[in-house]
């Protein structure tokens, strides 16, 4: 037994770290917590729901031109530190590529653009200076909320993540689109 | 033969000294607050101890430089310590060799809580350098470390959730105006203080944590959660407000315990079906082992009594018992966030059975080797027996420059000049007073750490 233990130690000393590149859409569930596969599932479903929404299509038609969307806050009420921008950026990209709507930069970026524009007035060639008052006002704001409910018993855990996104008319406060995604996981240790 | 005797004497001395004793010059200067001298003794050679103690070298150096206010340099060492922990893999050849000598032959991988502290110091250094984005990176790394710690043990009553680190993450997120993540971190911290820390360490939820949780809930518009926690904390009258600026003050009090060793004599008894049992009747310890093969059994049959060394923590009692901050806004008690001393003791205790198992296997292997050689050459076997005895030693390494405990307070500040007095009270005598001046911008959160290195010397 004793020699066997030593032999085992030496045998496993051959183990080395390995790194393998895999397809980004491959699903690997290791800990059971929120991961990239969940963000992708939320993005895929929400993109599909939004672009096929009759309400959204009708709104764009009535408006006569492409509506402009700005992304607002996505509240995270779960117990995990989840970065909503992982799926929000995918949704933004899908909207942008679909050509159904324009994307207006978020508040943080707008502030930086305004500082840049202001500085251009003093330092840039007058012929190339960006003018004031030409920003596009957003028609719609995308915002939402993430919640989770957890049930734990001994070494088992069930977590249900609910992600809700809303697209609301900034002028009228009317909700134009409402998407919801649920992901339920059972984790056994 | 004389040279051999000299070697044995060296082995004897090397075998007796703990990690703390081997590095006593460094620790003496550090404890006395002569950090420049301590830094000089520590040197620049990161291959100290043939690289086996590299984690401790990086961590000690990072901590010293941080106290000296050399935050960039400090973080370069903490980053090395972090990466060392990330890339650490057991060297099983060295691991096997420890079973024939002692565990100090293998590289020190660091305790769970020590890896968290590397990132704690690193995040604070970035905040003091006014680099919040970099501090947030450390926050995310801390989150991953906490998840790894949480998944490490499947049974309960293990130190696998760190309330202090959750609180720290909340404080960092709050300072960057990410109130949502701050709320999540504070809520997790409250849960861990309530469910784990109260039972394990006899600690309560800090009042400042309750206030921060209520504030971030209010600022996020989480009204249901705000009401829930107001009722839970019996703080129905609390009205969240936004200060002009604030100071988060961390007080590092005393020094963490050092590891020493203790030895137990075991009696080996042979049982039926190739089972042997290592017994220590005085302590009520009994460990059964199964042996295969006649050789192993024959060799171990000869065993009667042998000594096995195990690690243990030796507390360095704190000098100061409590602290308060005084500013124009009033008095603020420094509240205990983390009792690092208790965390260290708890972490070692929870794996003591594993330490017993490893120690006994080591002793059995050494004895088997000795008896195998004795059969071939009695004198050589006796010599191996002597070497085995003097090299029997526990792993006494730990990050010994960490504080005994960490307390904190959040103080509202005005824009411009602010004066704050820190008053530290020892058990007896007048408090020590220190004065600090701060000049925050509107909406800014400043961070300050103060280290009281005064503490008792470990009792051997």
pLDDT tens for residues A62-76? 988 899 999 999 999
Answer whether residue B374 shows pLDDT above 70: yes
Average pLDDT over residues B166-184: 95
| DSSP annotation of B197 | I
pLDDT tens digits for range B121-154? 999 999 999 999 899 999 889 989 888 888 887 7
pLDDT of residue B383: 86
For chain B, say whether A5 makes contact (Cβ under 8 Å). yes
What residues in A contact B185, CB-CB < 8 Å? 81
Backbone angles phi, psi at A147, to 5 degrees: -130, 165
Distance in angstroms (rounded) separating the CA atoms of residues A71 and A63: 20
pLDDT of residue A4: 46
pLDDT bin (cut points 50, 70, 90) of residue B275 is: confident
pLDDT bin (cut points 50, 70, 90) of residue B13 is: very low
Chain A contact probe: residue of B91, B93, B96 with most A CBs at under 10 A: B96
For chain B, say whether A61 makes contact (Cβ under 8 Å). no
Residue of A nearest to B190 (CA): A79
Q: What percent of chain B has pLDDT over 70?
A: 90
pLDDT tens digits for range B382-402? 888 788 877 888 889 999 999
The rounded mean pLDDT for chain B is 87
Backbone angles phi, psi at B23, to 5 degrees: -105, 30
Distance in angstroms (rounded) separating the CA atoms of residues A96 and B129: 39
pLDDT tens digits for range B238-252? 999 889 999 999 999
Q: How far is CA B152 from CA B8, B199, B269, in A?
A: 41, 20, 35
Quote the tokens at residue A100: 């159904």
For chain A, say whether B294 makes contact (Cβ under 8 Å). no
What residues in B contact A19, CB-CB < 8 Å? none
- Closest residue to A9, CB basis, from B89, B92, B143: B92
- Closest residue to B220, CB basis, from A15, A75, A155: A75
For the CA atoms of B363, B368, B371, B377, the dihedral, rounded to the nearest 10 degrees, stands at -110
For chain A, say whether B134 makes contact (Cβ under 8 Å). no
For chain B, say whether A3 makes contact (Cβ under 8 Å). yes
pLDDT bin (cut points 50, 70, 90) of residue A108 is: confident
What residues in A contact B176, CB-CB < 8 Å? none
pLDDT bin (cut points 50, 70, 90) of residue A7 is: very low
Instruction: Give kind and range of the element (H or E) at residue B204.
Output: none
Residue of A nearest to B151 (CA): A31
For chain A, say whether B188 makes contact (Cβ under 8 Å). yes
Chain A residues 77-96 with a CB less than 8 Å from chain B = 77-81
- Closest residue to A17, CB basis, from B89, B221, B296: B89
Distance in angstroms (rounded) separating the CA atoms of residues A177 and A104: 18
Collapsing DSSP to helix, strand or coil, B84 comes out as helix
For the CA atoms of B83, B84, B89, B94, the dihedral, rounded to the nearest 10 degrees, stands at 170
Instruction: Give kind and range of the element (H or E) at residue A177.
Output: strand A175-188
Instruction: Give kind and range of the element (H or E) at residue B11.
Output: helix B2-16
How far does A121 lie from chain B, in Å, by closest CA? 28
Quote the tokens at residue B318: 């704190």
> Does the beta-carbon distance from B184 to A75 stay under 8 Å?
no
- Closest residue to A2, CB basis, from B151, B221, B296: B296
- Mode of pairing for the β-strands spanning B245-253 and B445-452: parallel
DSSP code string of B256-316 = PPEEEEEEEEEEEEE-STTEEEEEETTTTEEEEEE--SHHHHHHHHT--EEEEEEEEEE--
pLDDT of residue B6: 44
Say if CB B389 and CB B124 are below 8 A apart: no
pLDDT of residue B301: 57
Average pLDDT over residues A140-166: 93
| DSSP annotation of A179 | E
For chain B, say whether A75 makes contact (Cβ under 8 Å). yes
Between A116 and B19, residue with greater pLDDT: A116
Between A117 and A106, residue with greater pLDDT: A117
Closest of B77, B106, B75 to residue B89, by C-alpha: B106
Answer whether residue B9 shows pLDDT above 50: no
**CB pairs under 8 A, 24+ apart, for B34-43?**
B35/B64, B35/B67, B35/B68, B36/B68, B38/B64, B39/B64, B39/B65, B39/B68
pLDDT of residue B101: 75
Answer whether residue A11 shows pLDDT above 70: no
């Amino acid at each position: 037994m004793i020699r066997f233990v030593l032999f085992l130690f030496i045998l496993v000393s051959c183990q080395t770290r390995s790194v393998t590149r895999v397809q980004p859409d491959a699903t690997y569930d290791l800990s059971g917590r929120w991961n990239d596969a969940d963000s992708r599932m939320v993005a895929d479903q929400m993109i599909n729901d939004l672009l096929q929404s009759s309400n959204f299509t009708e709104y764009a038609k009535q408006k006569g031109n492409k509506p402009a969307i700005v992304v607002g806050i996505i509240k995270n009420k779960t117990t995990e530190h989840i970065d909503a921008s992982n799926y929000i950026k995918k949704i933004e990209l899908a909207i942008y590529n679909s050509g159904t709507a324009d994307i207006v930069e978020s508040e943080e970026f707008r502030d930086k653009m305004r500082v840049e524009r202001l500085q251009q007035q003093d330092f840039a060639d007058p012929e190339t200076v960006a003018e004031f008052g030409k920003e596009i006002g957003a028609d719609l704001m995308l915002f939402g909320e993430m919640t989770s409910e957890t049930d734990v018993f001994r070494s088992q855990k069930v977590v249900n993540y609910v992600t809700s996104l809303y697209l609301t008319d900034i002028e009228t406060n009317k909700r134009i689109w409402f998407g919801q995604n649920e992901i339920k996981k059972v984790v056994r240790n | 033969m004389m040279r051999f005797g000299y070697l044995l004497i060296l082995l004897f001395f090397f075998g007796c000294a703990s990690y703390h004793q081997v590095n006593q010059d460094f620790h003496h200067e550090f404890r006395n607050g002569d950090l420049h001298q301590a830094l000089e003794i520590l040197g620049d050679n990161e291959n100290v101890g043939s690289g086996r103690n590299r984690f401790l070298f990086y961590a000690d150096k990072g901590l010293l430089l941080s106290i000296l206010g050399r935050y960039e340099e400090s973080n370069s060492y903490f980053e090395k310590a972090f990466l060392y922990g990330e890339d650490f893999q057991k060297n099983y050849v060295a691991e096997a060799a420890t079973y024939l000598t002692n565990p100090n032959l293998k590289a020190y991988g660091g305790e769970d809580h020590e890896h968290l502290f590397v990132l704690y110091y690193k995040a604070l250094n970035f905040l003091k350098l006014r680099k919040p984005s970099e501090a947030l990176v450390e926050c995310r790394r801390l989150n991953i470390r906490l998840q790894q710690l949480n998944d490490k043990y499947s049974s309960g009553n293990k130190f696998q959730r760190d309330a202090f680190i959750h609180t720290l993450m909340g404080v960092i997120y709050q300072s960057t105006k990410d109130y949502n993540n701050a709320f999540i971190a504070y809520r997790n911290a409250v849960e861990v203080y309530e469910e784990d820390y109260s039972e394990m360490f006899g600690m309560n939820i800090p009042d400042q944590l309750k206030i921060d949780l209520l504030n971030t809930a209010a600022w996020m518009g989480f009204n249901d959660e705000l009401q829930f926690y107001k009722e839970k904390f019996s703080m129905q009258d609390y009205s969240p407000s936004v200060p002009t600026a604030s100071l988060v003050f961390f007080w590092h009090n005393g020094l963490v315990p050092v590891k020493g060793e203790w030895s137990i004599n075991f009696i080996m008894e042979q049982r039926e079906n190739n089972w042997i049992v290592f017994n220590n009747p005085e302590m009520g310890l009994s460990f059964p082992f199964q042996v295969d093969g006649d050789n192993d059994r024959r060799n171990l049959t000869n065993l009667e009594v042998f000594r096995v060394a195990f690690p243990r923590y030796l507390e360095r009692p704190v000098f100061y018992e409590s602290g308060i901050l005084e500013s124009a806004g009033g008095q603020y008690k420094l509240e205990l966030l983390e009792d690092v001393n208790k965390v260290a003791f708890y972490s070692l205790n929870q794996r003591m059975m594993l330490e017993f198992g490893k120690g006994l296997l080591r002793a059995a292997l050494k004895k088997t080797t000795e008896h195998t050689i004795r059969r071939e050459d009695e004198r050589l076997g006796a010599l191996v027996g002597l070497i085995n005895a003097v090299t029997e030693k526990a792993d006494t390494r730990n990050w010994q420059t960490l504080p005994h405990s960490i307390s904190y307070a959040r103080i509202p500040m005005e824009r411009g000049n602010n004066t704050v007095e820190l008053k530290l009270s020892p058990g007896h005598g007048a408090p020590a007073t220190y004065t600090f001046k701060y000049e925050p911008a509107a909406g800014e959160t400043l961070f300050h750490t103060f280290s009281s290195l005064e503490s008792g010397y470990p009792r051997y």
